[in-house]
Amino acid sequence: MSWFHTRPVSPGVWLVAEPGHVNCWLVAGTERAVLLDTGLGIAPIRPVVQALTPVPVEAVNSHYHFDHTGGNAEFDRVSIHELGAPLLAAGVPTEVREGYLAYTHRLLAAAETYRDLDRDYFHLLSADSDPRPLPADFVPELWRPRPGIVAHELHDGDVLDLGGRSLTVLHTPGHSPDSVCFLDDRDGLLFGGDTLNTGPIYAQMPDSDVEAFARSTARLAELRAEVRLVLMCHFGRGVAEAQFVRDVAESFDRLVNGDAELRPARDCLLDEAREAVFPQCSILVAPDRGWRR
């Protein structure tokens, strides 16, 4: 079984998932294609995406985190927001890499139990969400995400012309300083990076900024008229309707205005956090932030 799951989502757009881990998005025009994020680097991703389109594919990152940039080095050209280039070059701390491998083993063990429950009760698992066994030739001790060399820096408002379609870069800091989203206004597609997610939204990281996150999601909510689908980087529901953008923005608005209960939680690396739970999403914040009313 391939480590990757791919499927078409819209004309010229494919989900390229490492199910249970991270979703990358391939967007092809008539001249060239971009792979929005390159995943964990656990298995080669370039052959997978180049088999989907005849036009040359380059890598464009939504932000610098290792789970979005691990396959960058496979591509001849890598682009990231200007604030992400130095962050990418700094590399991945060993404890983060080891912590993520530990998470992967917990995920695979939990999936055994979850599949049974899902089959009997919930019926939510799909190829998008069901975690796959690690590749037979994968050696955890040798795993190194490969962020490559940045060839091109992105700025807010840049337009990536793919031939017959384009993506507009929207700088949406909050999850990380360099986070961007991409808007395909021809087809009404918003690529949310880690700014929009249907599992816990990570605003608890050392360089997260909750107030900036709230401003960024409010900005995205104003795009709603142009957006038909939202395509996201994590969790088993990587595709949502446009209303989800407004739901997330309203949740952030409540959070920064003190209208949220915070409960103890942990992120995937088991670092402590607090979680604000809203009807349509939840948001992790750092454990020392005091928004309780």
- Residue ranges in contact with Zn ion by CB under 5 A: 65, 194
CB of 34 to Zn ion, least distance (A): 18
Instruction: Choose between 129 and 197: whose C-beta lies nearer to Zn ion.
Output: 197
75: Cβ contacts below 8 Å, ≥ 6 apart: 35, 38, 46, 57, 58, 59, 148
Instruction: Choose between 253 and 267: whose C-beta lies nearer to Zn ion.
Output: 267
Instruction: Choose between 65 and 81: whose C-beta lies nearer to Zn ion.
Output: 65
CB of 63 to Zn ion, least distance (A): 6
Distance between CA atoms of residues 246 and 232, nearest Å:
15
Instruction: Choose between 184 and 194: whose C-beta lies nearer to Zn ion.
Output: 194
Instruction: Choose between 100 and 278: whose C-beta lies nearer to Zn ion.
Output: 100
* SS3 of the chain: CCCCEEEEEECCEEEEEECCCEEEEEEECCCCEEEECCCCCCCCCHHHHHCCCCCCEEEECCCCCHHHHCCHHHCCCEEEECCHHHHHHCCCCHHHHHHHHHHHHHHHHHHHHHHHHHHHHHCCCCCCCCCCCCCCCCCHHHCCCCCCCCCEEECCCCEEECCCCEEEEEECCCCCCCCEEEEECCCCEEECCCCCCCCEEECCCCCCCHHHHHHHHHHHHCCHHHCCEEECCCCCCCEEECHHHHHHHHHHHHHHCCCCCEEEEECCCCCEEEEEECCCCEEEECCCCCCCC
Q: Which residue number is nearest to Zn ion in terms of Cβ?
A: 65
Which residue in 277, 235, 226 sits closest to 255, CA to CA?
A: 277
Which residue in 77, 78, 76 sits closest to 63, CA to CA?
A: 78
CB of 194 to Zn ion, least distance (A): 4
CB of 175 to Zn ion, least distance (A): 6
CB of 252 to Zn ion, least distance (A): 16
Instruction: Choose between 29 and 197: whose C-beta lies nearer to Zn ion.
Output: 197
Instruction: Choose between 12 and 192: whose C-beta lies nearer to Zn ion.
Output: 192
CB of 265 to Zn ion, least distance (A): 17
CB of 64 to Zn ion, least distance (A): 8
CB of 205 to Zn ion, least distance (A): 7
Instruction: Choose between 29 and 70: whose C-beta lies nearer to Zn ion.
Output: 70
Token look-up 């030739």 returns 137
